[in-house]
Amino acid sequence: MNQASPRTDHPADSREIERAVLDFARNEPELGQAAVAERLRVAGMQISASGVRYLWQKHGLETAVKRLQALAGNDGGGIDALTENQRRLLERGELTARLARGEPEGSSNADHSADSTSELLDRRQMILTAAAELFSEQGYDRSSIRDIARRVGLLPGSVYHYFPSKDELYLEIHREGFKRVLDRAQAAAKEGIDPWDRLRRACEVHVSGIVEGSPVDRITGHSLSFSGNKDLLAKIQPYRESYEDVFRSLIKSLPLAPGTDRSLLRLFLFGGMNWIYLWYREGGRTPKDIADAMVDMLRRGVQA
């Protein structure tokens, strides 16, 4: 089967686009082909997701595992050159590759006595990550269990072994995502020296999760994939409420002008933070800078 060549509007720029695609493979190996194509589109480089995949295949980098392996090998520091999230992703990907080859779940070249229960949990986490990526890239309604299974190299029946339905998979992403960000926000707030500083630190965690976090973190923050299904929204709401309770408490502690509607202030702040995913571009302000500026505008106002 012949590979399709990259689809670009400016063929003369093909070398520049190829370099940019390879830069993403080195600098952000976890990103999928659709995400890279979108980043390049924003930068003014027109290439399809299949075009990104073609270029990755050309250089033997078509999977996240291969890109991570190349990064570890080229850096000289081996696996220690990877971040903690990258190491976990690489380990999960190598597990999937062994399973696809028909090797027993407990087998490993590094440690044949690895706990199979741990590997089962890894595979479950791998499915969650892949589902979050797809829900963000193409929406909940347009993502199928078959799509998710294909991304992690499993049969659809294997996905159903862990999650009885797509709805349950979507809900579990939010359960885990809200737990992660809740724990991080609470820990960050405790480091604050006063009520405003505690709110600022919690907002930094929230914004960073949306623009820099894992696929599970990002989809929890802005629910990009939400389909309008009211039943799903109702099931997610208790987890969202638990997380928002952290901010209710932080805002309740703020020294505010008499008559200030603290509930409206909280919703205003969340609305501003949750929409960052629409306009955020790398190379400008950092997530921390954005969160700090938002809190500072709330605290001091903007009138001259």
3-state secondary structure 87-138: HHHHHHHHHHHHHHCCCCCCCCCCCCCCCHHHHHHHHHHHHHHHHHHHHHHH
> Rg of the Cα trace of the chain?
21
Q: Provide long-range contacts, Cβ within 8 A and 24+ apart, for 115-119.
A: 119/95
150 in the Ramachandran plot: left (φ > 0), alpha (ψ -120 to 50) or beta? alpha
In order, the DSSP letters of 64-97 are HHHHHHHHHHHHSSGGGGS-HHHHHHHHHHHHHH
What was the pLDDT predicted at 95?
59
Structure letter (DSSP) for residue 2: P
What was the pLDDT predicted at 185?
92
Domains (ranges, CATH) in the chain? 171-300 (1.10.357.10)
Mean pLDDT per segment of 10 residues, for the chain of length 304 residues?
42 75 80 77 80 82 77 63 65 57 46 42 80 85 89 83 88 88 91 95 91 82 61 84 92 94 93 86 86 94 86
Task: Compute the C-alpha angle 103/173/221, nearest 5°.
Answer: 135
Question: Which pTM was predicted?
Answer: 0.58
What was the pLDDT predicted at 202?
95
Kind plus residue range of the DSSP H or E element containing 47: none
